[in-house]
């Protein structure tokens, strides 16, 4: 079985994330959306809200599971028996950052990182931009899936 994880904080889930997930799920038998927990990071949305956004968006996709984890991503991969990490690339800066992480993960384990380029229609979207739009009262609905609702 080809099992991959797509790790991230998903604070919140964006149309860019959704695009990578929808395209990535076709490459694997199972795709685990792995929501990382970093106690040093301040999130806009609670872990429960972030998990709910993802679960609602992909509730009809049987090949997708949503889980949370702490610690190193490669350790979580071992825990869930995943052989691949899926990552999305928006720009050259993402590539340089993700390349360093992929090399480190490969050094620490046998995990392979698979990169997908984001669709041009979503390549400008980041969770930090979405949070800024929300905090300033803008229309965030054009940047996120319908499952993301601010309370």
Instruction: Please give the positions annotated as active site.
Output: 17, 41, 90, 127
**Cβ neighbours of 3 (radius 10 Å):** 17
Give the residue among 17, 6, 35 at the shortest CA–CA distance from 90: 17
Distance CA 124, CA 50 (A): 21
Number of residues assigned to the chain = 151
Coil/strand/helix, residue 8:
strand
């Amino acid at each position: 079985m080809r099992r991959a994880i797509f790790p991230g904080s998903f604070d919140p889930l964006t149309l860019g994330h959704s695009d990578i997930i929808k395209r990535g799920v076709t490459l694997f038998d199972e795709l685990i959306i792995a929501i990382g927990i970093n106690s040093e990071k301040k999130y806009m949305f609670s872990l429960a809200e972030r998990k709910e956004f993802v679960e609602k968006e992909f509730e009809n996709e049987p090949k997708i599971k949503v889980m949370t984890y702490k610690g190193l991503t490669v350790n979580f991969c071992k825990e869930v028996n995943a052989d691949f990490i899926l990552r999305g690339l928006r720009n050259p800066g993402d590539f340089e950052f993700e390349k360093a992480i992929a090399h480190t993960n490969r050094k620490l384990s046998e995990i392979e990182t698979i990169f997908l380029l984001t669709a041009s229609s979503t390549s400008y979207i980041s969770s930090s931009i979405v949070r800024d739009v929300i905090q300033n009262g803008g229309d965030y609905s054009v940047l996120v899936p319908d499952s993301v609702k601010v309370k």
